[in-house]
Amino acid sequence: MIAAASVCWRRLCFVHAVVQWTAWRRYSKEERITSEQLTRFFASRRGIVLVGVTIGVLAPLLQKLGNPPNMGICVACFERDIAGALGLHRAAIVQYIRPEIIGFVLGSMVAALLFREFKPRVGSAPIVRFVLGMFAMIGALAFLGCPWRALLRLAGGDLNAILGLSGLATGIAIGVQFLKQGYDLGRSYRTYPAVGWIMPAMMISLLLLLIFRPQFNQGGPIFFSQNGPGSLHAPLLISLAVGIIIGFLAQRTRFCTMGAVRDVILMGDTHLISGVGTLLVTAFVTNLLLGQVHVGFAGQPTAHSNHLWNFLGMALAGLAFALAGGCPGRQLFLSGEGDGDAAVFVVGMITGAAFAHNFALAGTPDKVVEGVVQVGGLSTVGMAAVILGLVVCLIIGFSMRETKKETGV
Amino acid sequence: MKMVKQVDARGLSCPQPVILTRNAIQAREFPIEVLVDTATSRENVRRMAEKSGFQVHVEEMGDEFKLTITK
C-alpha cells in the first residue's frame, strides 16, 4: 500500500511541478520578473507555504539518508553537535560538525547579497542576547530539540512533542506579554561591512574543519562520534546543499517558528504559522511514505517522556526566543544577512550546549533495558538550570522596557 | 501645515516596528510616516497596515524605507 501511495505521490508531485512551470513561463512572458516581484512572492502566503513544503520534504529525507531519527534538522541539536566536535563538551555521542547549520548561514547570506539585503548591523544589547541564547539552548536540550525538531518529532509520531510544543507556545505567550508592556532590547546600528562577514567566515572555517578533519591534540578535537546520534548523518554534500536551499528560502520569506506563534498571539496574524503548519503536515506525509512514523510516548528516538520537564524546558526556550526576537533557525538566517546581534545569540546557544553537557543539564533519553522502558528526563541540576533560566528570562523581561518617549512615537 | 505623525523604527528588530506602527494607528492621526531600515520590517509593517485596511506607500531612501500610511 505504501508503495502504491508513493507512486501516487510522485505522480502528484510531477503534475504539480508541470502546472507550476507552465504558470511560471506564462508569467515571465507577460512581464519581466524583477527582484521586487520575487520579493513580493516570497513575502506572500504562497512563499511561506513553499518554505514549509520544502523543509517538510527535505528534513525527513535527510533522516532517510542518514541523519538521526526525527532529527532531519534540529538547530539546537546540531549546534550542540558542533560544540561537541570542537571539544567544548565531551559527550562522545553528540559530536559532529553539522553541514546543515553551515548551509543555513551561507544560503541566507547568498540570498541577502543577491537581493541587496546584506546589512551589517550590531548594538542591540548583545550580552543580553548571549544570555538568552545560552538559556534557550539549556531549555531546548532539556526537551531534546528546538522548535523545528519538536515539529519533526510530532510528524514522526512522537507524542512527547505535544508537551514540548505546548511549552513553547506558553513561553512565547509570556514573551508576548512583555512585548505588549514595552519590552525592547533597543536599536541596532549600521556598522562596518567586515562585521557582517564574521559569522559566514566562522561557518566557512567549520566547513574546512569538517572536510579536512585535523587533529589538534592526541585523539582530538576535532571529535567525530563513533556511535549515538552524532555518528548518524547524511552525506556531507547533500546536508550542505539542503542547508543552503533552506537558508536561501528562509531568508527570503523570514520563516520563523517562534514568530509564527508570537504573531498569532500578538495580533492574530496567521502568515508565518501557515508555513509552520505546512511544514508539520508535509513532514508527516513524507514520513508516512518513507515508513518513518511510530506513534507513541515511550521509547521514542532521542526523546524522553518526562512530561513536566518536556513542557518546562520548551517554555524556557520559547520565552528566550521570544525575548530575542527569533527561533534558533531565524537567528542563523539573520546572522547570515549581517545581523551581529543574532550571531551573538548563536554563539550563546553553542556555549549553552557546552554547559548543558559539561554540567549534565541536558535531558536523558528513555532507554529500553531488557524489554522494559526506563523513562529518562532531567537530573536535579538540570531541573535547577531550567528554573534558573526561567527566572533570568523573567528578570530580563521585566527590567528591559523602554518608556514611551524613548521609542520614537 | 499639518504635522505628520512619525514613527522611527530604524534599528528595531521584529516585532517592534509593527507594534509601534499599530500603536500609532490606534491613535488615529493620519497620515503616519514609518521609518524602517530592513526589508523585513518594511514587509511586516506593510502587511499589517494593509491587512487592517489602510493604504501604504513605500518610498526607498538610500538604505532606509519610508512608509506612509493613510486611510
Between CA B22 and CA A15 the distance in angstroms is 43
Residue B69, SS3 per DSSP: strand
pLDDT band (50, 70, 90) for residue A218: confident
Count of H-run helices and E-run strands, chain B: 2, 4
Q: Single out the residue of A371, A73, A42 nearest to residue B42, CA to CA.
A: A42
Residue A408 has pLDDT above 80, yes or no: no
Interface of A with B in 303-332 (CB under 8 A): 325-326
A189/B contact by beta carbon, under 8 A: yes
Between CA A222 and CA A244 the distance in angstroms is 23
Determine what percent of chain B is predicted with pLDDT higher than 90.
Answer: 75
CB-closest option in B13, B20, B44 to A124: B13
Residue A341 near residue A123, CB atoms below 8 Å: yes
Residue A320 near residue A394, CB atoms below 8 Å: no
Interface of A with B in 15-74 (CB under 8 A): 39, 43
Residue A18 has pLDDT above 90, yes or no: no
* Confidence at residue A35, expressed as pLDDT on a 0 to 100 scale: 78
Which residues in B lie closer than 8 A to residue A409 (C-beta atoms)? 7, 20, 23-24
The average pLDDT across A151-176 equals: 98
CB-closest option in A187, A266, A267 to B12: A187
Report residue A335: phi and psi, to 5°. Answer: -70, -25
The average pLDDT across A340-344 equals: 98
User: Interface pTM (ipTM) of the complex?
Assistant: 0.92
Q: Single out the residue of A30, A240, A52, A226 nearest to residue A155, CA to CA.
A: A52
Between CA A31 and CA A15 the distance in angstroms is 25
B43/A contact by beta carbon, under 8 A: yes
Determine what percent of chain A is predicted with pLDDT higher than 70.
Answer: 90
Could you report how far apart the first and last alpha carbons of chain B are, in Å?
Answer: 19
The average pLDDT across A132-160 equals: 98
The average pLDDT across A368-373 equals: 84
Between CA A304 and CA A274 the distance in angstroms is 28
* Confidence at residue B2, expressed as pLDDT on a 0 to 100 scale: 61
A179/B contact by beta carbon, under 8 A: yes
Q: Single out the residue of A82, A48, A9, A14 nearest to residue A239, CA to CA.
A: A82
pLDDT band (50, 70, 90) for residue A5: low
What pTM value is reported for the model? 0.91
pLDDT tens per residue, range B7-56: 999 999 889 999 999 999 998 888 999 999 999 999 999 999 999 999 99
For the ranges A28-37, A101-110, A322-331, the lowest mean pLDDT is seen at A28-37
Residue A34 has pLDDT above 80, yes or no: no
Interface test with B, best of A172, A401, A409 (most B CBs within 10 A): A409
The average pLDDT across A232-238 equals: 98
Sign of the dihedral through C-alpha A228, A238, A70, A135: positive
- Compute the nearest-CA separation of A258 from chain B (Å): 11
Residue A6 has pLDDT above 70, yes or no: no
CB-closest option in A43, A117, A407 to B20: A407
Residue A338 near residue A118, CB atoms below 8 Å: yes
The average pLDDT across A310-319 equals: 98
Report residue B15: phi and psi, to 5°. Answer: -100, 20
Determine what percent of chain A is predicted with pLDDT higher than 90.
Answer: 84
B10/A contact by beta carbon, under 8 A: yes
Between CA A258 and CA A272 the distance in angstroms is 9
Residue A407 has pLDDT above 50, yes or no: no
The average pLDDT across A68-97 equals: 98
* Confidence at residue A31, expressed as pLDDT on a 0 to 100 scale: 52
By CA distance, what is A43's nearest residue in B?
Answer: B43
CB-closest option in B14, B23, B43 to A325: B14
* Confidence at residue B1, expressed as pLDDT on a 0 to 100 scale: 54
Residue A409 has pLDDT above 80, yes or no: no
